Amino acid sequence: MTVSPTTADRAAARPRARAWIPLALRALLLGTLLTFLVAPSIFEPILKPLVQDNAPAIYNQGSLFTLTLLHLRIVAIATTAAILVAVTLAILVTRPFGAEFLALSRSLVNVGQTFPPVAVLALSVPALGFGEKPTLVALFLYGLLPIFENTLTALTTLPPAVMEAARGAGMTDRQRLFRVELPLAAPVILAGIRLSITVSLATATIGSTVAARTLGEVIIAGLQSNNLAFILQGGLIVGALAVLIYDGLSALEARLRRRAGL
């Protein structure tokens, strides 16, 4: 005897089916990106109509795969430094002994937002020279604010009942910080890191104006030669990286929220 699915069964199956759609799109985007970086010549027929006669449709002044890794490396170094400084400052100003440094800390992390990255690059080159270092400074300063503000907000809005329970259990200040406060604050802190990384991925392209090895090289080469295909390649790779990393960190943030019971 065949039992037909009930309306409730069909209704429950629809959300599960819909959940596979974004996952499939992410996998498709990642697969397309990796294929393009490893074997870009496959996409030459698609890009050829965008260039003038005899102009190369695929970036030919370096390896796109290598430039992508170098681009990610710069963003990773700058973001790691920004996380260490911003989270440490936020922890400091939420302790009783450091509360008086809140205004100073806010002024420090706002420096990157006060000066545009291009201005930071221009000011850094005379002191640090051309190359990767000025770009790291610009990305570091630009990434501080969202991480600091999110960490500060997370640490100052923790459930009072949980904090009282931790004190009642005899935990020291250090134990409360690492066992209670930071685990509960992790999803909000990660949201700030996610925003910082997304902004840095796009901003890192301007580092190529001071000889840093980033995907900005592809865009600049396209502008100099009036090659729309080059510009499109650089922009789309950066955009795809931003979408994939943003989406991955969003999934991790949701998982941390579930684990923390939020």
4 has a pLDDT exceeding 80: no
197 has a pLDDT exceeding 60: yes
Confidence of residue 10 (pLDDT cuts 50, 70, 90): low
CA angle (39 as vertex; 38, 40 as ends), nearest 5: 110
Instruction: Find where tokens 């900005």 sit.
Output: 216
39 has a pLDDT exceeding 70: yes
- Domains defined along the chain, listed by start: 59-259 (1.10.3720.10)
Confidence of residue 55 (pLDDT cuts 50, 70, 90): confident
Residues sharing a CB contact under 8 Å with residue 217, sequence separation 6 or more, in sequence order: 61, 62, 67, 208, 234
As a whole number, the mean pLDDT across the chain is 87
- Tell me the per-residue pLDDT of 202-219, one tens digit each, with 9 for 90 and over: 999 999 988 899 999 999
Q: How much is the average pLDDT of 29-42?
A: 92
Predicted pLDDT of residue 52: 84
Q: Which is more confident, 157 or 261?
A: 157
14-18, 39-43, 58-62, 97-101: which has the minimum mean pLDDT?
14-18
CA-wise closest residue to 230 among 106, 115, 64: 64
42 has a pLDDT exceeding 50: yes
Predicted pLDDT of residue 3: 47
1 has a pLDDT exceeding 80: no
Confidence of residue 6 (pLDDT cuts 50, 70, 90): low
17-21, 33-37, 74-78, 189-193: which has the minimum mean pLDDT?
17-21
Q: How much is the average pLDDT of 140-155?
A: 93
Instruction: Determine the Cα–Cα distance for residues 94 and 98; give it in Å rounded to an integer.
Output: 7
- Tell me the per-residue pLDDT of 208-262, one tens digit each, with 9 for 90 and over: 988 899 999 999 999 998 999 999 999 999 999 999 999 999 989 888 888 877 6
Q: Which is more confident, 84 or 125?
A: 84
Predicted pLDDT of residue 19: 54
Predicted pLDDT of residue 17: 46
Predicted pLDDT of residue 131: 86
Predicted pLDDT of residue 12: 47
Residues sharing a CB contact under 8 Å with residue 48, sequence separation 6 or more, in sequence order: 57, 229
193 has a pLDDT exceeding 60: yes
Residues sharing a CB contact under 8 Å with residue 67, sequence separation 6 or more, in sequence order: 213, 214, 215, 217, 218
